[in-house]
Amino acid sequence: MSKAKELKKQHDFLNVTVLDLIRILDPSGKSKYVDLFVRSIIHDYGTYTTKNVYEEVQNESGIDLQKITRDHDNITQKMWLDVMHSIVGFDNVKIIHKFHELNERQLIPNNDISKYKKISDLTNVINLAELKMQDASMDTHIVVLNNDEQWLILRPLTHSASVKYGYGTKWCTASKQDYDYFRRYAKRGVLVYCLNKETGDKVAFFHNIDVDYERETSFWNVKDERIDSMETGLPPYILNIIKEQMASKITNVLLHTAEIAELEESHYRQLEKTREEPMPLLEDYEPVNEARQHLVQAINEWATNTTVERDGSEELIIR
């Protein structure tokens, strides 16, 4: 028995089809409204093109869904998208794919997947592997304040550096898509990233300098929860380095060289251009034929997994 079949047998609650759910929701108890449910789903999901779905997943998770679902129609792909979002979670998908990528490159020392209780436990392992892959091309994108056996302390100067060194966190400044956050914080004050090279843990620090905003001096954990300095685990000598940066009153943007400033503005222009592009038009396809094929497939699957009985009045009763 394959691993997938074994898991289906062990966890029957996950071995359920969309039609099973529709039958449960049908108030008649006789599958009277199943057809209408199916037609509605086909209508609603049919407004998505394959391109729409691919782009939505790519933007949310960074995962190329096309490689995973290339043999399925766009309605099925959209359903999978919703399941991925609500049950599996885009973050979990992204973590698994990143772990696999690094493991294939033999950068994960503790790669026995059975030793991890949940997907989020892989985050620190990924962070450690990422730290080992220091990209020399990013050297000018950061200001390193400390780099010893345990702690790498840096100030990200560009959005790209913020995304790289903030990977695995929920920090808004490390968001790949919502780049405005980093842009604003880099202009407003002192932004520092603290990376533990032994555990993979990360802490962000921000001190606002801009008088147009409220005073703020804050530390943030990987979940983007504001924490006290005593909860960070940062040793006194690291806290002293952060205090020196705070006292300098020099924002991250003010640390830009002319080359980095030009590169960053070009980067933002490209991102803004992408964001302003109109949504793609619906691709040419035959919705009626596609809907008919999908409905036939759904009915066949339903019939295969349904017991049909007849009572004395010849009325079909679905159990």
Query: Distance between CA atoms of 206 and 191, rounded to whole angstroms?
Result: 5
Alpha helix positions (H), the chain: 3-10, 18-25, 34-45, 50-61, 65-69, 74-83, 90-104, 122-132, 159-165, 180-188, 236-248, 258-276, 287-304
Q: What are phi and psi of 207, to 5 degrees?
A: -130, 120
Query: Distance between CA atoms of 87 and 85, rounded to whole angstroms?
Result: 6
- Spell out the residues 6+ positions from residue 265 whose beta carbon is closer than 8 angstroms to its own: none
* pLDDT mean across residues, the chain: 79
Q: Which of 34-43, 47-56, 96-105, 184-193 has the lowest mean pLDDT?
A: 47-56
pLDDT-based confidence at 181, cuts 50/70/90? very high
CB atoms within 10 A of CB 37: 18
Please say if the pLDDT value at position 279 is more than 50: no
pLDDT-based confidence at 32, cuts 50/70/90? confident
Q: What is the pLDDT of residues 147-173, one digit of tens each?
A: 999 999 999 999 999 998 998 899 999
The pTM of the full predicted model, rounded to 2 decimals, is 0.62
Cβ(26)–Cβ(37) under 8 Å? Answer: yes
Q: Which of 94-103, 120-129, 299-308 has the lowest mean pLDDT?
A: 299-308
Buried residues in 215-240 as b, exposed as e (16+ CB within 10 A): eeeebbbbeeeeeeeeebebeeebbe
Q: What is the pLDDT of residues 74-90, one digit of tens each?
A: 677 777 777 766 766 66
pLDDT for 55 equals 65
Please say if the pLDDT value at position 195 is more than 50: yes
pLDDT-based confidence at 51, cuts 50/70/90? low
DSSP state of 273: H
Query: Distance between CA atoms of 248 and 67, rounded to whole angstroms?
Result: 49
Q: Kindly state the average pLDDT of the residues 18-39.
A: 81
Query: Distance between CA atoms of 67 and 159, rounded to whole angstroms?
Result: 28
Q: Which tokens hold the place of 32? A: 């009277």
Complete DSSP assignment for 55-103:
HHHHHHH---HHHHHTTS-HHHHHHHHHHIIIII-HHHHHHHHHHHHHH
Look at 180 and 86; give whichever has higher pLDDT. Answer: 180
Cβ(174)–Cβ(167) under 8 Å? Answer: yes
Q: What is the pLDDT of residues 62-76, one digit of tens each?
A: 666 666 666 667 677
Please say if the pLDDT value at position 20 is more than 60: yes
Domain ranges of the chain: 3-88+286-318, 95-126, 135-276
pLDDT for 285 equals 41
Q: Kindly state the average pLDDT of the residues 262-279.
A: 77
Name the percent of the chain lying above pLDDT 90: 34
pLDDT-based confidence at 280, cuts 50/70/90? very low
Cβ(318)–Cβ(31) under 8 Å? Answer: yes
